Amino acid sequence: MVMSYTSTCEVPGLTIAGADTDSFKFTPPADAEYLHYGYCRTIKGIPVTPDGKPTPAVLAKAALEHASIPHVAINAGSRVSPRLPYVATGLGYGGNIRTRDAMSVQDVLHAVDYGRIVGRSLAPLADCLVIGESIPAGTTTAMAVLYGLGYRARVSSSMPSNPISLKRRVVRDAFLRLGRESAGRARQHAPGGEGGRAEGAPGGAAGNAAGTAPGDGRRLQGRDGSLHAAARPERNDSDYAYDAQVPLDDVAPRPPGPGSSEAERQHYVYRITAAVGDPMIPFVAGMLSSASISSKVMLAGGTQMAAVLAVASRIGYDGSNVAVGTTSYVAEDKHADFAGLISDVSDVPAIAVDPGLDASKHAGLRAFAEGYAKEGVGAGGCIISAMLKTNAGRAEMTRAIDAEYTKMSESRAA
């Protein structure tokens, strides 16, 4: 479970991964503490939305305990450290991409290298290494990285009403900032103070490369608790009306063209990740790169994991050992395109599971089926792993999650 932070989450209205803006920095460490202790030490209670809905760590913890799956916490840029044993990387947290670069390119290189070390160390300990994350507003930085790498990404949200226009405004502001900074550097280095942007340099004008390596987004069949390939939700043109509200193609950077060198393409990926990403993305990309050589790897998360795959594609990984797992709440989100996005980025399986929380006896859990949170802390991947390890059906997993929620509620009351 990778903890991280981006100051982008402090943009009002962007996320509900915490009770309020001031509490967002405590969400990743509190999620890690809850997985270990069943309660939190850095905050009172557990991470909740502003109206009290619980963290998806409840789902992850129930699944891990049901199947006796061990776990470890990794600090890859969390603003606050958890009060428990964890793997320390020394990475700093990410800046607000609207106003500054998230990291330096050197920070990204360190994150990739540290990720490789951790992935190489953990992979031999398991038949399948499941990697989850906790980072408020991570879908926004994922959108920025994906757009910067040439993918017209539609990402999910922790809210039932996805603030997609706000996300796109934040990403647009980040690209405009990047363009101004690149233009300023070009003028400084050009004869007579004039000069243009070289193709492939971040911050350019119109032009966006198409996604590569298409796969086959297959249909999600039924709701019987079995595992299926994730589906592309049905929609019509009116569902995409929000795209025109905040255009991005006119300001998105242009990735290097076919004639560019491997070194140029790799530097571009690192530069985009540094400018508009977050520390989790390059760190998990590094983990994936080394761990997939010797173990199966499941990226347990929603649309953020598409950004991880996009960055990792430049670093290198064994795609035959990789899958992405999430909840049906992300896969069926009409404002996103989980299966399509994964297949655009990489030809790896995209798996979705329905936790059956629409039938839960607890309103707080039924909220997940109504569009709140949807995913986080590797919840979908943990449930998939538990079902595969124990042969449990959906009803059994729903009971386990209900029991964990009851235990959590009782401990809060006490």
pLDDT, tens digit, for every residue of 361-405? 888 888 888 877 678 899 999 999 999 999 999 999 999 999 998
Residue 58 φ then ψ, to 5°? -60, -45
**Dihedral (CA of 136, 328, 31, 21) sign:** positive
**Could you tell me the pLDDT band of residue 21, with boundaries at 50, 70 and 90?**
low
Q: How far apart are the first and last CA of the chain?
A: 28
Query: What is the pLDDT averaged over residues 41-69?
Result: 84
Q: What is the pLDDT of residue 187?
A: 64
Which pair of structure tokens corresponds to residue 164? 């997609």
Which pair of structure tokens corresponds to residue 346? 């990489």
Q: What is the pLDDT of residue 202?
A: 46
213 part of a folded domain:
no
Rg from Cα positions in the chain: 20
Helix (H, G, I), strand (E, B) or coil at 10: helix
306 part of a folded domain:
yes
Task: Give me the domain span that covers residue 375.
Answer: 2-188+196-208+218-413
Helix (H, G, I), strand (E, B) or coil at 136: coil
* Whole-number Å distance between alpha carbons of 163 and 150: 22
CATH code of the domain in which 229 resides:
3.40.50.10210
86 part of a folded domain:
yes
- Strand blocks (E) in 99-179: 128-131, 133-134
Q: What is the pLDDT of residue 89?
A: 96
Closest to 283 measured CA to CA, from 35, 107, 86, 57 = 107
**Could you tell me the pLDDT band of residue 220, with boundaries at 50, 70 and 90?**
very low
CA atoms within 13 A on the CB side of 329: 29
Res. 275: pLDDT tops 60:
yes
334 part of a folded domain:
yes
Lowest-confidence range among 90-104, 154-168, 337-351? 154-168
Number of domains in the chain: 1
**Could you tell me the pLDDT band of residue 156, with boundaries at 50, 70 and 90?**
low
pTM confidence score? 0.85
332-356: pLDDT as tens digits: 887 778 889 999 999 999 999 999 8
Q: What is the pLDDT of residue 303?
A: 85
113-125: pLDDT as tens digits: 999 999 999 999 9
The whole-angstrom distance between residue 33's C-alpha and the CA centroid of its chain comes to 20
Res. 165: pLDDT tops 60:
yes
Q: What share of the chain is helix, strand, coil (3-state, %, to 5)?
A: 45, 10, 45
**Could you tell me the pLDDT band of residue 162, with boundaries at 50, 70 and 90?**
low
172 part of a folded domain:
yes
Q: Are 107 and 279 in contact (CB under 8 A)?
A: yes
316 part of a folded domain:
yes
**Could you tell me the pLDDT band of residue 48, with boundaries at 50, 70 and 90?**
low
CB atoms within 10 A of CB 314: 18
Lowest-confidence range among 3-12, 162-171, 178-187, 342-351? 178-187
Q: What percent of the chain shows pLDDT beyond 90?
A: 60
Residue partners of 212: CB distance under 8 A and separation at least 6: 344
Average pLDDT of the chain to the nearest whole number: 83
DSSP-assigned letters across all residues of 195-259:
--PPTTSSS-SS--PPP-S---------SSS--EE--PPP--GGGGGGGGTS--TTTS-----TT
**Could you tell me the pLDDT band of residue 148, with boundaries at 50, 70 and 90?**
very high
Which pair of structure tokens corresponds to residue 78? 């969390």
- Strand blocks (E) in 230-368: 296-300, 322-327, 350-353
Q: Are 158 and 372 in contact (CB under 8 A)?
A: yes
Question: Long-range contacts for 405-414 (Cβ within 8 Å, ≥24 apart)?
Answer: 405/54, 405/58, 405/62, 405/360, 405/362, 405/364, 405/365, 406/362, 407/38, 408/34, 408/38, 408/46, 408/54, 408/58, 409/362, 409/364, 411/38, 411/39, 412/45, 412/46
- Residue 29 Cα distances to 32, 42, 76, 79, 113, angstroms: 5, 7, 11, 9, 23
Res. 80: pLDDT tops 70:
yes
Q: What is the pLDDT of residue 164?
A: 82
Residue partners of 140: CB distance under 8 A and separation at least 6: 6, 8, 9, 14, 15, 97, 155, 167, 170, 171
Q: What is the pLDDT of residue 55?
A: 86
315-333: pLDDT as tens digits: 999 999 999 999 998 998 8
